Amino acid sequence: MRFILIFLFMGFFAQNSLAQTSNITTSKKVEDYIQLGLENSPLLKDLQNQRLTNLIDSLKILASYKVQVNGMSNNSYAPSSNGWGYDYAVTNGTNFAQQVVATKRLVGNQNLNNQHEAIRLLNESLKIAGKISTQDLIKTITAQYITAFGVYQQIKFNQSIIDLLNKEQLVLKIYTEKGIYKQTDYLNFLVTTQQQEIVTEQLNAQFQNEIASLNYLCGIRDTAQVQLLDPIIKMEPLAQIENTVYYQQFVVDSFKLKNATEQIKFNYKPKVNLYADGGYLSTFAQNAYKNFGVSAGVSIAVPIYDGHQKKMQFDKIKISEQTRSDYRDFFKKQFDQQILQLVQQLTATEKIIKQTQKQIVYSESLIEANKKLLEVGEVHITDYILAINNYLFAKNAITQNTINKFQIINQINYWNKK
């Protein structure tokens, strides 16, 4: 019995603790989610690892031009009898070679620097890709945060309206019982209150879904309730297109094509290799024990004719350069059009917000007047409900347009990334 009581007590304590934990509300801002999203992004980690890999490739280039030493073992036996078999002058009958061979390719500093430049440009491309991926992730997380924040603001406002309606409902109930208002007026007011409660519950469910999507984007496993702080999103000064990170990729691609052109030229220059070996090389024909020795030499390869492959490679680079130019020119037009459109949308949205704010001032004054008239039993309930609905519409319009404004600024800042 004692163990059963302990078990039940522990179960109750654990359940109670879990309930308390699930009710804990934490305040978070958009920067918190962005930081976690960037830290958890496997793509950004992958791009960083690729850059580290390229640094190793740069070291490999240096290592490939150092002296290469290999142990070589070549052994053959070519039997012949009565004139049948391989020609002895070619095979020597028996060959036994055990050597250590050292080779070194000679390369000019310009060629070597050009190969290192190719890796540096590749890393520069990865760096730009990392910046773009970072900006993509920031924009996506910010947009989702703004969406969730908009729902959160609607919940807070709707709850304040419900509190107001509940308070007025008590007053209306007393006047209904006294016969000042009709029963239908009270029921109509009660239905309006219940409708707002249903809308708020729907918004709560939507808010949880939006937060779950936000956690998913950031790679967060968290089901705790959160309170979203106001996002501080200011529009950055409009940048020249040449200074944006998206344009920088076209510049790097141009350098990469020039680098590839230079490398083709280096590939068609004469190649010089030095070699040296030492060891045992013998046919066992005579005095095999004396066949220890060394040798050294140089080999030179001069390209003469390759079927015009060099020209073909240059032609491919010219086509790639034309493609790059076409994409760059199209991006310029797209960029200017996108920024112009977003700025126009921002101006129109801010104008709507100002107009709606004026309407809210009138709606608030009308509600306040109706509240006073309700307390003395001189207001038509339908007029009061209509005033509340107009106020709800105006506030929701403000919230929606404010969210749209934040989203537009978020997109403008995305395109202005340097």
Domains in the chain, please, with CATH?
Answer: 27-75+102-415 (1.20.1600.10)
Distance CA 86, CA 241 (A): 74
- Residue predicted with more confidence, 388 or 376: 388
Q: What is the DSSP string of 308-375?
A: SHHHHHHHHHHHHHHHHHHHHHHHHHHHHHHHHHHHHHHHHHHHHHHHHHHHHHHHHHHHHHHHHHHH
Count of beta carbons in the 10 Å neighbourhood of residue 363? 20
Half-sphere exposure of 332 (CA within 13 A, CB side): 9
Rounded Cα gap, residues 388 and 165, in angstroms: 9
Which pLDDT does position 352 carry in this prediction? 92
Question: For residue 142, what pLDDT band results from cuts at 50, 70 and 90?
Answer: very high
Cα–Cα distance, 166 to 194 (Å, whole number): 10
292-329 pLDDT, tens per residue?
A: 889 899 989 898 888 899 999 999 999 999 999 999 99
pLDDT at 389: 86
More confident residue, 7 or 73: 73
- Band of the pLDDT at 90, cuts 50, 70, 90? confident
Inform me whether the pLDDT recorded for 18 exceeds 80: no
Mean pLDDT throughout 357-362? 87
pLDDT single digits (tens) 231-253: 888 888 888 888 899 999 999 99
pLDDT at site 21: 38
pLDDT class for 10, splitting at 50, 70, 90?
A: very low
Query: How far is residue 395's CA from residue 410's CA, in Å, rounded to a whole number?
Result: 22
Give CA 244 to chain center in angstroms.
17
Lowest mean pLDDT among 6-20, 108-122, 146-160: 6-20
State the pLDDT at residue 24: 55
Report the C-alpha gap between 67 and 104 in whole angstroms: 5
